[in-house]
Amino acid sequence: MEIDAAQYASISLEMLQTNSYLEVYDQGHDYLDKPPLLFWLSAFSMKVFGVSNWAYKLPAMLVLLLGVFSLYKLARNWYNEETSQLAALLLCFNNAWLLMTNDVRTDGILSGFIVFSVWQVIEFANSKRWIYLLGAAIGIAAAMMSKGPIGLVIIGMAVGFHWLVLKDWKAIFKWQWLLMLLIVGILLGPMLYGLYHQFDLHPEKEVYDLKGPSGILFFFYTQSFGRITGDIYWDNHAPWHYFFDTMAWDMQPWFHLFLLALIIRLVSLVKNRFRFEPNSEYVSLFGFLLPLIALSASRFKLPHYVFPIFPFAALITADFICNKLPQFKATFKGMKAFQFALNMLLLAAVAVAFSFFFTPNFISIFLLVTGFLGFVFLYAKSKSLNLKWYHSQLFAFGVFGLLMSVYFYPNLLKYQFSSQMGKDLASAKYEGKAVYRFGIYDRSFGFYTLNKVPLLTKPEIKNLASGAILAATAESLQEIDTLVQTEFDTLATYNAYPVTQLNPEFLLKKFRDQKVKKTYLIIKK
């Protein structure tokens, strides 16, 4: 999807094509925004498996699965098997994780490496086995090379404050942590070398309205902390409660359970006058709350910024469902009924989409019917106070996720013209033909055409040979309208809409034509 995922896929492809792995470029221009790990991993995947959508997504998917496994192993340090399994399942089944496997950005690998690192740090503190120290160093370096120092900050907040409130000074003051940070620094070396050579040695460059930026300073400070201090201009004026607003959707279908779990934990702490019980787990509480406060102070907020702290929210929720909710029979029954209604609503939403959004196919209808029947059957089989009742909820959301992935998103992306046009131009039908573009800068277009379609200026269009094919938007064609009318014929027309900015008018088939623009493939006579 445009912009981020398509941009990152395009950068990964460009890295593979140019073999420029330490200095990162985006359509030939200096790129500084995100560290390079996602680009490295995806470029390597495409080198092994070929350039494709799934090859770009594969590394992020694997790291997300690593994060789920790591959360399970982390939870086993304090909780029983049931709680640990449920925490991992909750992390799998939520809208944020569904989105990160469809719209792959840096937040997915950041999330996976953060929870992996926390698990490794805790294991080393408990067992003193060096393999865990090395694992922690690799995980921290990977988290930092995913999205900057925020990776280290979240890990430090989660583990550091857990030990601090328990007064576990032996764990805090281990000399081995210095060795771990040294290994982290060594692992960051190649990236820092690239940043230094690309930016610090070239003070004449200007990126993001920053004149002569230091690549190393940008990585360690400006990109993350500059959004709080105002050292970078990014500011979308989001309110302080922005992330709680977005989590109400992104953390479904268990946001209400998490909210109740978090409130009960905080109330319990206040009642106990902030006495922290020995051998208890506070990693999840501090791993969620403290980064949330820090991120809420940023001048620039987007919903996916908080996805890396969802593993801690999943652990808080699993502890609540397994160890606290069963104590309150009336609340338990109410939650069970509410969760049933919520998941029926999710499945019903897709059923409504069949009628009003897109045309259904056999697979989508089969999944929907299976989802309804399976969900109701599993729910009816569970007893009121049997924790297996939640398995039916996860089943329902799993079906919802499949429907989104095989039905909703594929239909939606038919309106991202740059992807559809790019795929068509990369097909055998246009092989060997002279193809150009005018006024199209979308990254997905470049990715699917393997960056092989030159961008023309207006004067160059007049000199095209007969039979040359031009990809253009309706707006760009207005610039050469007279020329188009006399010298070009239309080969294909595509629908164009920014698919990450949905609204009811676009989603409803009845009004969609009013919101959709047109783009064209035209051929010189």
Q: Tens digit of pLDDT for each residue in 237-257?
A: 777 788 888 898 899 888 988
Using the predicted structure, report yes or no on whether residue 171 has a pLDDT greater than 50. yes
The helix (H) or strand (E) run that includes residue 232 is none
Q: At residue 486, does pLDDT exceed 80?
A: no
Q: Residue 392 region, left (φ>0) first, then alpha (ψ -120 to 50), else beta?
A: alpha
SS3 call for 3: coil
Q: Which of 321, 343, 290, 340 is nearest to 84 (CA)?
A: 321
Residue 3: is the preceding peptide bond cis (ω within 30°)?
yes
Which pLDDT tens digit goes with each residue over 190-246?
999 998 988 888 888 887 777 878 888 888 887 776 555 555 555 667 777 888 888
> In the 8-state DSSP scheme, what is residue 30?
E
- Count the residues in the chain: 525
> 271-278 — which CB contacts under 8 Å span 24+ positions?
276/165, 276/166, 278/166
| Cβ 69 vs Cβ 87: under 8 Å | no
pTM above 0.95, yes or no: no
**CA 100 – CA 74 distance, rounded (Å):** 22
Where exactly are the structural domains of the chain? 4-322, 339-414, 416-524
Q: Would you place residue 430 in the very low, low, confident or very high pLDDT band (cuts 50, 70, 90)? A: confident
> Cα angle vertex 303, ends 339, 244, to 5°?
55
Which of the four pLDDT bands, split at 50, 70 and 90, describes residue 385?
A: very low
* Ramachandran sector of residue 511 (left: φ over 0; alpha: ψ -120 to 50; beta: rest): alpha
Termini Cα distance of the chain = 34
How would DSSP label each residue in 507-518? HSHHHHHHH-EE
Can you read off the two tokens belonging to residue 92? 């799998």
6 close to 442: Cβ distance less than 8 angstroms: yes
Lowest mean pLDDT across 52-66, 256-270, 334-348:
334-348
What is the sign of the dihedral through the CA atoms of 183, 187, 190 and 196? negative
**CA atoms of 317 and 337, how far apart (whole Å):** 17
Please report, rounded to a whole number, the percentage of residues in the chain having pLDDT higher than 90.
40
Position 153 scores a pLDDT of 93
CB 52 within 8 A of CB 100: no
